[in-house]
Amino acid sequence: FPEMLSNPRLKPVQGTLNVVMNQNVTLSCNSDAGSPPVRYTLFKRNQKVSTLNRPDLTPSLFNLTINSASDLGEYKCKAENNNTSGGKYSNSLSFTLLEPISKPVMSSPTSQAKKGQNVTLSCLSENGSLPITYIFFKGTRSISSQVMMQKEAAEIVLFINSSSDFGTYKCRAENGFRRDAKYSNGFNFTLAEERRLSQPLIISLGLILLLLVIGLALAIPFFIIPSYKASE
């Protein structure tokens, strides 16, 4: 006897509903139980998109292209056979449009540092769908765990311990597709010079000291000779 169809399942073949503009996507629709043949119809906001006939219970694959925001709307599919009056409907799915992220910018409150100092690095992509995941690098080596941010910049605090800590730092940002990850420009700290007396100041202090010595030498006879005569 013909068996009634079970409610079909609608799912993305790619495994995610996150898409970018002009992306090709495939939706799979099938009923696990029921008598074939089966006719599957895909709907978008209750409007028929496409119909496929299957001689068995293997999934029907609907290929779509996300060309505009209107293609993100709710999708459902309907399964029908000779023993299913009105058909059986699936769950609904909606795509989420991912905006590609902009190139992240690495910044710091200071561009100079000295040994024994803590410094802060910030990384921010101004544009892109949220959340955005950041990670920091020194050269090609990661120096932080991944951190997921909303609108705020990701930050890392570094301790400048030796001259090797003055290398090139970068950060990477991504928001759902690893192939769309973007890297910042390199950021380098420069070694802050210790405050030293300038050469003109040293010369001036030397001249003052020399004049004081000369003045003292010239003044000694005026004090010593009168005192000597007075004691005779």
Tell me the pLDDT tens digit for each residue of 120-133: 999 999 998 889 99
Same domain, 180 and 112: yes
**Residue whose token pair is 């599919």:** 77
Same domain, 54 and 115: no
C-alpha dihedral, 221 to 223 to 224 to 228, nearest 10°: 120
- Residue 208 pLDDT: 83
Q: Does residue 206 belong to any structural domain of this protein?
A: no
Same domain, 73 and 128: no
- Residue 99 pLDDT: 86
* Dihedral sign (CA 86, 91, 92, 97): negative
Average pLDDT over residues 206-217: 78
- Residue 100 pLDDT: 85
Flag whether pLDDT at 167 surpasses 60.
yes
Flag whether pLDDT at 49 surpasses 90.
yes
Query: What band does 156 get if pLDDT is binned at 50, 70 and 90?
Result: very high
Flag whether pLDDT at 206 surpasses 60.
yes
Q: What is the CB neighbour count within 10 angstroms for residue 56?
A: 8
Task: Give me the chain's average pLDDT, please.
Answer: 88
Query: What band does 1 get if pLDDT is binned at 50, 70 and 90?
Result: low
Higher-confidence position of 151 and 219: 151
Query: What band does 12 get if pLDDT is binned at 50, 70 and 90?
Result: very high
DSSP result, 147-172: EEESSSPEEEEEEE-SGGGGSEEEEE
CA 147/CA 195 separation, integer angstroms: 38
Q: Does residue 200 belong to any structural domain of this protein?
A: no
Residue 32 CB partners (closer than 8 Å, separation 6+) = 6, 9, 57
Higher-confidence position of 225 and 162: 162
- Residue 177 pLDDT: 64
Flag whether pLDDT at 102 surpasses 90.
yes
**Residue whose token pair is 């959340």:** 131
Tokens at residue 222, please? 């005026």
Same domain, 118 and 89: no
Last residue of a domain, one of 71, 97, 123: 97
- Residue 213 pLDDT: 75
Same domain, 151 and 113: yes
Domain boundaries, position 63: 9-97
Q: Does residue 208 belong to any structural domain of this protein?
A: no
Flag whether pLDDT at 225 surpasses 70.
no
Q: Does residue 85 belong to any structural domain of this protein?
A: yes
Same domain, 80 and 48: yes
Q: Does residue 151 belong to any structural domain of this protein?
A: yes
- Residue 42 CA: distances (Å) to CA of 91, 113, 184, 224: 12, 62, 43, 117
Q: What is the CB neighbour count within 10 angstroms for residue 132?
A: 25
Same domain, 61 and 109: no
Least confident of 20-29, 143-152, 176-185: 176-185
- Residue 232 pLDDT: 60
CA 60/CA 45 separation, integer angstroms: 19
Q: Does residue 14 belong to any structural domain of this protein?
A: yes
- Residue 229 pLDDT: 56
Say which CATH number the domain at 19 has.
2.60.40.10
CA 57/CA 6 separation, integer angstroms: 11
Q: Does residue 222 belong to any structural domain of this protein?
A: no
Number of domains forming the structure of the chain: 2
Higher-confidence position of 202 and 67: 67
- Residue 42 pLDDT: 97
